[in-house]
Structure 1
Amino acid sequence: MRNGLMMRTMGQGGRLLMALALAVAGAALSGCGGGGILGGSSDSSSSPSISSRFSELFGSKSQAVGETPPPPAENELSCPPVTIRAGASTFAVGVPGKEAVGNDLRYQASITRTARDCTRNGGQITARIGILGRVIAGPAGAPPTVEVPLRVAVVQGGVQEKTITTKVFRTTVTMNDQGSVPFSLVAEDVVYPVPSGSTGDAYIFYIGFDPQALKPEPAPRAARKKK
């Protein structure tokens, strides 16, 4: 009875905020459970194409965010771990001119699961980085489609990190009436030189959202005509 009274006294904005919080919690839990590639059976049944593609590409070589990847099998090429760059784990967009918080939040994207594999070709390593995530509509309402920008970087860790290569990838997500949609992206052309000696043990695949990648590049300045 008390819960029913609370729900009746909440406004529309409060109900939407509660739905958003529950959806975020559900997405996080789906990455930690067993079963399908997305963790829970609900995600697998609602988006079979996403889970099937990841299963075909990576098999069991995936892990929930924060989970330690399994060690390489005997005679298998060691592949750097995937880590989400600090400060780039979520991508929130608000109403134009407003901060993406509270009732001004239009949508938020987060990463729930990752995968990777590596292949050596001569003096180069070709890696595939798989990213699973979810876009959740906020109280202000999400647009029909959302463009999600992600950056993948190969970094040599240490006291002074060294970026070996970095690239931006984008994927477009079509929202639904439920306001919670999974997305996937596979960066299949991450290529870098084979590290020497034990240097490769310090390599990391950093991933994260990169909102700057959605901004148009400045137009080149016109050359001044000589008088």
Structure 2
Amino acid sequence: MTSHKRALLAFAAAAALLTGCGGTTINNPFSTAPPPVEELPTISDRFDQLFGGGGKVSETSADGTEADCPLVKIRAGASTYGVAPPGKQPVASELNYQATITRTARDCRRVNGGQIAARIGIQGRVIAGPAGAPATVEVPVRVAVVQTGVQERVLTTKVYRTTVSMTGDGGAFSLVGEDLLFNMPQQLTSDNYVFYVGFDPQAIAPAAPSGARARRR
């Protein structure tokens, strides 16, 4: 085999290593394309760092007792949050944007006898609608600690807000509900409680009307 043929074969082998099916470049050191999405830090990475990569983390108290942690459930009818222009319904072509909860996590620790301190992590996404979304949107999420039974009893509830930057057709958000304290007597377990999460549109103050309102005479 001539040296010219050997050089051609070596070039072909190198090209095969740098390309995949359909000619897609894979780990090409000469490519100027941005790195694959999975190589960039994401909100999910930060979420995993906070909660150890799992949906539940139960921290251990000073006396070595693991805190029992209730399940997180999305409140029926509060899993999405749609916004439309004033006077319009957030449906079809009138929709500015819609937020959805995609992932939750929680951890618990016993702080004093039967008192439990919980953190609730919530991830979601916001999609721009046909009516157009602003550059940033505010997302209100309510978290409630509820004791289950024949009649559910809300022990504590808080609203958390986060601002989402819209890039392209949407954005993503990640927030953590802190300082949720409730009592869990020794005769009860996490099965007697539930963490409810959901969007709370009432937590967003309505925008002030633009311009002065005409006075009635």
- Cα distance in 2 between the residues matched to 1:78 and 1:104: 45
Q: Alpha-carbon deviation of 1:194?
A: 2.9
Correspondences of 1:42-191 after superposition (within 5 Å): 48-62=41-55, 76-123=66-113, 124-177=115-168, 179-191=169-181
Q: Relative to structure 1, is the Cα distance of residues 61 and 195 closer, same or farther in structure 2, using a 3 angstrom cutoff?
A: farther
CA contact (8 A) 2:122 2:174 kept: yes
CA contact (8 A) 1:61 1:117 kept: no
Contiguous gaps of at least 5 residues in structure 2: 1-35, 207-217
Identity value in percent:
59
Q: Alpha-carbon deviation of 1:75?
A: 5.9
Query: What's the C-alpha RMSD, in Å, of the aligned pairs?
Result: 2.5
Contiguous gaps of at least 5 residues in structure 1: 1-40, 63-68, 217-227
TM-score of the pair, normalised by structure 1: 0.67
- Cα distance in 2 between the residues matched to 1:57 and 1:189: 15
Q: Alpha-carbon deviation of 1:200?
A: 4.0
CA contact (8 A) 1:110 1:133 kept: yes
Q: Alpha-carbon deviation of 1:153?
A: 0.4
Larger Rg: 2
SS at match of 2:151: coil
* Deviation by residue 1:105-141 (Cα, 9 ceiling, x = unmatched): 0000000000000011113211010000000000000
SS at match of 1:206: strand
* Deviation by residue 1:76-96 (Cα, 9 ceiling, x = unmatched): 322000000111000000121
SS at match of 1:57: helix
